Amino acid sequence: MTKEERKVIVASSLGTVFEWYDFYLFGSLAVIIGTNFFSQFPEGTRNIFALLAFAAGFLVRPFGALVFGRLGDLVGRKYTFLVTILIMGASTFVVGILPTSDTIGIAAPIILIILRMLQGLALGGEYGGAATYVAEHAPNGRRGFYTSFIQVTATAGLFLSLLVILFTRLAVGDAEFAAWGWRIPFLLSILLLGISVWIRLQMEESPAFQRMKAAGTESKAPLGEAFGQWKNAKIALFALLGLVMGQAVVWYTGQFYVLFFLGAVLKVDTFTQNMLVAWSLLLGSGGFVFFGWLSDKIGRKPIILGGCLLAAVTYFPLFHLLSKEANPDLARAHATIEVRVVTDPALCSFQFNPTGTSRFTQPCDIAKAALARASVNYTVEAAPAGTAATIRIANGTPITVAGNATFAADLNRQLTTAGYPAASNASVVKMSGPFDIFREQPAVLIGILTLMVIYVTMVYGPIAAALVELFPTRIRYTSMSLPYHIGNGWFGGLMPATAFAMIAQTGDVYYGLWYPVVIALATVVIGLFFVPETYKRDLFADERR
């Protein structure tokens, strides 16, 4: 690797780390942000609304890919870099100074969602530019290795955001952090923005783009050529369904869904869940570079599809093991205590509330929401039409929901009597500090989470090289960005909210895992038969394609 090539990789990677740091702050602080900006809604609705506000940034990423991909193919990679980093940094800083809903009412969540969408637009243009820029500097036979450093940036950004949150929380205390300290990580982004802009200004345009401009072979209409011509559009479609779709759900399961699962389902405290995930990221992230390097030797498809297959086959046993280690008493209750909601199914709602404005007031909905908050596994038993909902826990007395002033107390008492752990459950894993990892519980949990991170590195390490190699220089930025951001922005970004809705509907805390399992298996099949292997392709000869 030459000095210039190292400079390209470092400059692209550091700038992208900062962008991912900005983007992940919202996901890591979703619960606190929900409390501050959606306080006008009930707790259950507030959490769903916060998750969907987080997902809003993902939903607009494909549009950012179209806007900035076209710009990158027309005027160059370097200048597009500068625009995306400025939008991302400024949007994140404004979140840090934005008044809450208690101060300015409904305007607060509206402005917040607009800022999230701006972040998503910027990120939609960032990744394709970084991957394209590095790949166009890399020699043939080393492209997977070179671009793997870009792949590390997403995890590094998440890791950095977790560290800043943890140290800020330790410095100001939990109460002050929830009140105002959560703003500090967002405000720090202005420093990262300054560093990123300085780094980007030092970069030169990629040699492949310069050669294409000099030869006059650039595309006059990148969008039309990329997606209006079937020969190019079908490659983008197969890339989405046969590579990126599965990569996205494996990535978000291993780095985000586990955070939600540890906190919302297994009742692990925020500090401990963040430290467990941070350690797993630290231990497993070397896999990005290793699998990028390996893909230069054996191909991109075997590694990406292999990671999808391994994840799909092992997610259910891994999450069951995660439960048994993180909260043994709760896992035992899930396996042994029968809880039923007996009701007329027609009186139950599907409690997925994307706008946060619906009110679920039927007794069946109240019963299911209360059980979900308590992390109880339950089934719905159909009763004759018009039957009001009751909850039956093991052999206990049926608990009436409608008109029962002591419903919450009755439910908690019967759950505890049957064997569900109380809030003070001593079996839940709890870390006393960052290095409290040499006990059986945290050590095993870090091992499980690290294995999931290794799956992430398998599917994500070679993906940039695979996508870059599928398309010619004239439309590369545009063509690779859209399938990547549809896959990661829509299939991946909507995973937490979708999985939780699936859990609430069925009463099974593991049911949401069917979402990544089915999608990952579909990617294995489609990728195996329809996606070409590209690791031996010569980018410098691609203008003839």
Distance CA 54, CA 57 (A): 6
Chain position carrying tokens 């209006």 = 228
Centre a 10 Å sphere on the Cβ of residue 302 and count the other Cβ atoms it contains: 16
Q: Measured between alpha carbons, how far is 279 from 443 in angstroms, rounded to an integer?
A: 10
Alpha carbon distances (Å) from 470 to 235, 395, 458, 529, 542: 7, 61, 19, 16, 10
Distance CA 133, CA 206 (A): 6
Q: Rounded to whole angstroms, how far apart are CA atoms 90 and 118?
A: 9
Round to whole Å and give the CA distance between 141 and 536: 7
Task: With residue 380 as reference, give the H or E element that holds it.
Answer: strand 379-382
- The predicted model scores a pTM of 0.84
381 membership: H or E segment, kind and range: strand 379-382
The helix (run of H) or strand (run of E) holding residue 341 is strand 339-343
Burial of 524 (0-12, 13-18, 19+ CB in 10 A): buried
Half-sphere exposure of 290 (CA within 13 A, CB side): 10
- For every one of its 545 residues, what pLDDT tens digit does the chain have, with 9 covering 90 and above? 677 778 778 777 776 787 678 767 877 787 788 778 876 666 555 666 666 676 677 778 788 888 888 888 887 777 887 888 888 888 889 989 999 888 888 788 888 888 888 888 888 887 777 888 888 888 888 999 999 988 888 778 878 888 898 889 889 988 899 889 999 999 988 888 888 788 778 777 777 777 777 777 777 777 887 788 888 889 999 999 999 999 999 998 998 889 888 988 898 988 898 889 889 988 998 999 999 999 999 999 999 999 999 999 999 999 999 999 999 999 999 999 999 999 888 777 665 544 444 466 778 888 887 888 788 999 888 888 888 889 999 888 899 888 888 988 999 999 999 999 977 788 999 998 889 999 999 999 999 999 999 999 999 999 989 998 998 878 888 888 888 888 887 788 777 767 777 887 788 889 989 999 999 999 999 999 999 999 988 776 655 44
Q: Could you say which architecture CATH assigns to the domain 3-327+430-544?
A: Up-down Bundle (1.20)
pLDDT of residue 66: 84
Range(s) within the chain of domains with CATH label 1.20.1250.20: 3-327+430-544
Pairing mode, strands 379-382 and 339-343: parallel
**Rounded (10°) CA dihedral 539, 541, 542, 544:** 180
